[in-house]
Amino acid sequence: MSGVTVSMLWQGHRDPRSEGCERPSLSMCGAPEGLRKGAAQLRHELSSVRIARRIGVPPQQRGSHTGETCPDLFELSDGNYAIIGTEATAALDPHLPPDAARADYERIVVITRETLIRAKKDIPDV
């Protein structure tokens, strides 16, 4: 799957310091301890993390029969989520809201609306 990146997301809880933040960041929004560390430390910690389950339906059930476009969401063994989507950092970074930020090792990925909607039933309510 060329042009596809896996990106880590937050755990499914809301940190009270993140109120009003559009998107998690390391310098703003009170990032969880695991995300405050540098990229090398985060990669080391992720080395023991495994994919626990798919969130939503497989790409084939969303019409991806060629393997060319396979956005997907997964819950990880540590409670975080991983997303497979199209890497769009260069195109979207300049358009982030003023109160949004990302670390150098974070990427903006795009998934289809259908992927997220069909995953909604598997995402726990807060």
Q: How far apart are CA 66 and CA 59, in angstroms?
A: 10
pTM of structure:
0.61
Percent of the chain clearing pLDDT 70 (strictly above): 68
Which one-letter amino acid corresponds to residue 53? R
Chain segment 54-90, per-residue pLDDT in tens: 988 888 777 777 766 788 899 999 989 999 999 999 9
Residue 25 tokens read as: 């960041």
Q: What's the confidence (pLDDT) of residue 37? A: 64
Burial of 59 (0-12, 13-18, 19+ CB in 10 A): buried
Q: How far apart are CA 9 and CA 41, in angstroms?
A: 16
Pairing relationship of beta strands 109-110 and 81-87 according to DSSP bridges: antiparallel
